[in-house]
Structure 1
Amino acid sequence: MSSQVHKAKEAFGARLRDLRKDANLTGRALATATGLHFTKVSRIEHARQNPSEDDIRLWCRACGAEDQIPEETTSLRSTRTGKLQSTGVGEPHTEEHGRAT
């Protein structure tokens, strides 16, 4: 895995962690709310495991961030395909189908 793809996956996990924290949920509380195992929540947030699109939908709904579902699922697809573009400011920017997202 290239370092750029790994950084994108780390940034993705950090965004999901921020959603959880903004909802004032612990990892275990999110796990209970979504039906995910608490270790899976941790592995996703630390870029050790890729979530499924269903995981993202559950995660966003449990955090009261349903409006983030399209953005996060698009980001997930981009990290899976490796279609990444550097923004030049230290954080990868995803690109899919020729459009910046």
Structure 2
Amino acid sequence: MANGIHLYKGLEVCPLIFPHVATRPGFAHDYDGGFDAAVRIKEPDGGKFEARSRVFRLHVERPFLCAGDARRASTAYGELLIDKYTPGNMIWDGE
């Protein structure tokens, strides 16, 4: 899991972590401002058909204090979303 992507119930779960405070041109990232998170859920590449994917942002009250917390929450949220959907009501159809 070096790149952060793992399979869960046949779908790829990829945590997306980014600084809460936007980086201004000419300045370094402000990691002290915390982190926001989203998760990309994607079908594995099928070769013949284009794989579907969708990004879901985590809506939290405060930014995560560290990137590790944001990554764990993002992964857990992705798995929760996958568990929520049944084969007849796929994740691609809506939230």
TM-score range, shorter chain: under 0.3
TM-score, scaled to structure 2: 0.26
More helix by share: 1
TM-score, scaled to structure 1: 0.25
More strand by share: 2
